Amino acid sequence: MNDFIHQTKRQTKGTNTFMTLMVLSLAILNLATIAQPQAAEAQSITPDHIAKMQSVSNAILSPDGSAVAYTVSVPADPYESNSSASSHLYVMNTETGEAKPYYTVGSVGSVQFRPGHEAITFLASRSGDNGRALYELPLDGGEAVKIYSYERSISGYQWNSDGSHIVFTSSEPAETSSSPLPYKADVYEENQTFRRAYIVNVTEADANAMRINAEGMVHMTEWSPSGDRLAITTTPTPNIDDFYMYQKVKVVDAQSGDVIAEVNNAGKIGQIVWSPNGEQLAIRAGKDIHDPTDGRILTVSASGGTPEMIDGSFEGKYEQIAWTDDNEITFLASESTSGVIGTIAPDGSSKEVFVRGDAMAIGGMSYGSGLIAITASTPAHPSELFLIEDGGSPERKTFHNDWLEEVELGKQEVVTYKTRDGMFDIDGMLIYPVGYEEGTRYPVITVVHGGPEAHYSNGWLTAYSMPGQMAAGKGYAVFYPNYRGSTGRGTEFAYSSQADLSGKEFDDVVDGVDYLISAGIADAERIGVTGGSYGGYASAWMSTYYSDRFAAAVMFVGISNNLSKWGTSDIPDELYLVHSRERMWDSDDKWMDYLRRSPIYWVDRAQTPILIMHGAEDTRVHPAQSLELYRHLKVRKPEVPVRLVFYPGEGHGNRGAASRYDYNVRMLEWFDTYLMTGDAGAEMPHWDAPVPVKN
């Protein structure tokens, strides 16, 4: 930022009122020549729009392709509740396109078509239920009927091909305290409950559920096509670190419940699917123990052994796989900012892409009788249901959020720029301000994704924590860079940021800002940054180490001290294996290196007003990470505007409708105060978030 402007502002604070007003008038006049957002503001997207935004969250085709069941995520009213969004069930006739609501009185999960029955089943918790139970609805409509409940809540289930047996998972009860005290202490990471797997015939009254004889915590379960075996994944403990890094694939005999084969897989795993003949398994998993994603395809005999990776040179990320015949796997994949659907042989040959969504973020697919159902968003709307018939183009079938017809959106496009070290071309999305005029420079909000094993696709990029079109309507440009270490670009790109925390990966973000400045779009004096988790780490880094480049920051569940992060996070092995690739205590000099890669180390550089927000119950990035940065700033740089907001009951990201709304309003208000004006000396907004009166 321009040092002369800030020196002038500091000097005017002690002068007479006339001089102060003159400086303010000139500043306002200057802003008017740079960006004029007011004209578009009346038609822009607001936090109230986002608070009621619905999206299609899942779609499942019937085996014959005649119907598609899909769920719609419906948020609670933030003015009345802090509940999470509900998942409502709808069914569409694929021939007529007619869709009907099937279950909207509560939230459903694990929607499936029951084999051999004209019915849909799902998990729900209704009055009198002991947690979630299994319900069934006829395809032609009617009342939901409970067909199975367990003594404890059912976490998930899968139908056997016979339509009678299910495998389901349920957590064992925790041991109760025998202490006579009227107070129960929380003993950290002890007395955790294991989730077990069971097989039961739901058509038999009072049928006993047979527990599968597998040690540890059960996560995934998949029936073989013939229904005589199951593929499952287990971990030694319920710890989240084990879930990320140490799931093992096992094959179970369905009659005895005994493990009959084991797969020697290593690293992250996201999916297991059987070949139609039951002889092989395809696993969507990591390349090895150091792969930060589960985006490769591995195949292995159903008799066990070591999996072999296919298509290892693919410079993308497999997101979903379905074994559609013995010699063909249908896949959904990310290629940088695009989504693609295609087929590949189990040996990696005969790869073919038949759907490419360059302006579409595909969230999931379902295959049935030659028809494919997908959920996808575009730059113009949140996730909706699309159908793909006979290898054609996706055809949109659902239309939610009528309010989108009444608002004006900023143009969104993919931008590509070179990194300063010349190693990579970086892709990202840019949303232009509504009413953008070429040659005019605008304030830019840089949105950094978490992970870093994640990426932004060229779809809908507006949510409670992503300013997107809300900011575009106010006159901001919004930039989403997929810096090195992001997914969707192959393993070399994903591995490229490992063992270099806050290094070249965050330089890539700044290089993107420089690209926008050189392109004449960004105002160099008004660059902002926000993000959550690893993106929160980036926000803290930009407001300390790179503080001279950023005029405002909003940090969410972010990292400020890598030394204490190692001692408080619930994923220490994942941090080591796929991020740092070294333990900081391996040598004395590493301790100092980790401190230098921490935003608190660079607080003396800080001049960026920063709003810090965090879930009070976060176990991934402990709330103390935010408290540390706040306290360092208050003590060492008291002149820098800083505010810390904790959200009671929230974890690593807000789930409640009201807490999301509160976050959204505070984020936008902070940027309006410091970024739109470019005034680091502006008075902080009132501590109580300004919630407008509901119309």
Residues with Cβ within 8 Å of residue 620, at least 6 apart in sequence:
240, 533, 557, 569, 570, 571, 651, 652
Confidence of residue 525 (pLDDT cuts 50, 70, 90): very high
630, 517 contact by CB (below 8 A): no
Residue 17 placed within a domain? yes
Three-class HEC string of 377-416 = EECCEEEEEEEEECCCCCEECCCCCHHHHHCCCCCEEEEE
C-alpha Rg value of the chain to the nearest Å: 26
* DSSP code for 580: I
Residue 442 placed within a domain? yes
Three-class HEC string of 270-300 = EEEEECCCCCEEEEEECCCCCCCCCCEEEEE
Amino acid at site 99: A
C-alpha 57 chain-centroid distance: 13
Residue in the block written with tokens 């070294």: 582
CATH number at residue 660: 3.40.50.1820
Residue 595 placed within a domain? yes
Q: Domain range spanning residue 24?
A: 1-34
How distant, in Å, are the alpha carbons of 95, 288, 358, 373, 510 from that of 387? 11, 35, 17, 5, 40
* DSSP code for 619: S
- Pairing type for strands 477-481 and 522-532 reads unpaired
Q: Is the pLDDT of residue 441 over 60?
A: yes
pLDDT of res. 31: 38
Report the number of secondary-structure helices (H) and strands (E) in the chain.
14, 36
Q: What angle do CA 92, 53, 478 make, to 5 degrees?
A: 125
Residue 441 placed within a domain? yes
Percentage of residues in the chain having pLDDT higher than 70 = 93
Three-class HEC string of 317-339 = EEEEEEEEECCEEEEEEEECCEE
How distant, in Å, are the alpha carbons of 77, 229, 285, 492 from that of 260? 50, 9, 22, 36
pLDDT of res. 235: 98
- Give me the sign of the Cα torsion angle 213, 218, 224, 226: positive
Q: Is the pLDDT of residue 61 over 80?
A: yes
Residue 518 placed within a domain? yes
pLDDT of res. 636: 98
Residue 226 placed within a domain? no
106, 126 contact by CB (below 8 A): yes
Q: For 169-186, b where at least 16 C-beta lie within 10 A, e where not — what string? A: bbbeeeeeeeeeeeeeee
DSSP symbols for 448-493: E-SSSS----SS---BTTB-HHHHHHHT-EEEEE--TT-SSS-HHH
Q: What angle do CA 68, 74, 78 make, to 5 degrees?
A: 175
Q: What angle do CA 135, 252, 163 make, to 5 degrees?
A: 30
Same domain, 3 and 43: no
Amino acid at site 326: D
Percentage of residues in the chain having pLDDT higher than 90 = 90
pLDDT of res. 686: 94
Q: Which pTM does this prediction carry? A: 0.91
Could you tell me which residue, 519 or 6, shows the higher pLDDT? 519
Integer Cα distance of 359 and 353 in angstroms: 16
Confidence of residue 587 (pLDDT cuts 50, 70, 90): confident
Confidence of residue 39 (pLDDT cuts 50, 70, 90): very low
Phi, psi of 159 (to 5 degrees): -80, 135
Q: Is the pLDDT of residue 6 over 60?
A: no
Integer Cα distance of 555 and 533 in angstroms: 8
Residue 647 placed within a domain? yes
Integer Cα distance of 35 and 556 in angstroms: 27
Q: 71 - beta bridge partners?
A: 58, 89
Q: What is the domain count for the chain?
A: 2
* Averaged pLDDT for residues 578-593: 91
**How many Cβ atoms sit within 10 Å of the Cβ of residue 570?**
17
Residues with Cβ within 8 Å of residue 587, at least 6 apart in sequence:
none
pLDDT of res. 692: 64
pLDDT of res. 588: 85
Q: Is the pLDDT of residue 35 over 80?
A: no
434, 36 contact by CB (below 8 A): no
Distance spanning both ends of the chain, measured CA to CA: 40
pLDDT of res. 404: 97
Same domain, 426 and 465: yes
* Averaged pLDDT for residues 369-375: 93
Q: Is the pLDDT of residue 8 over 70?
A: no
pLDDT of res. 3: 34
pLDDT of res. 560: 98
Q: Is the pLDDT of residue 43 over 60?
A: yes
Phi, psi of 515 (to 5 degrees): -60, -45
Residue 213 placed within a domain? no
Integer Cα distance of 529 and 197 in angstroms: 45
**How many Cβ atoms sit within 10 Å of the Cβ of residue 265?**
22
* Averaged pLDDT for residues 616-621: 97
pLDDT of res. 98: 95
Model pLDDT for residues 526-547, shown as the tens digit of each residue? 999 999 999 999 999 999 999 9
Q: Is the pLDDT of residue 24 over 80?
A: no
Q: What's the whole-number average pLDDT of the chain?
A: 92
Phi, psi of 553 (to 5 degrees): -145, 145
Integer Cα distance of 585 and 563 in angstroms: 10
Phi, psi of 301 (to 5 degrees): -65, 145
Residues with Cβ within 8 Å of residue 373, at least 6 apart in sequence:
59, 60, 61, 68, 70, 365, 366, 385, 386, 387, 388
Model pLDDT for residues 262-291, shown as the tens digit of each residue? 999 999 999 999 999 999 999 999 999 999
Q: Is the pLDDT of residue 21 over 60?
A: no
Model pLDDT for residues 632-687, shown as the tens digit of each residue? 999 999 999 999 999 999 999 999 999 999 999 999 999 999 999 999 999 999 99
Integer Cα distance of 256 and 92 in angstroms: 39
Same domain, 18 and 45: no
Model pLDDT for residues 113-122, shown as the tens digit of each residue? 999 999 999 9
pLDDT of res. 369: 85
Model pLDDT for residues 246-256, shown as the tens digit of each residue? 999 999 999 99
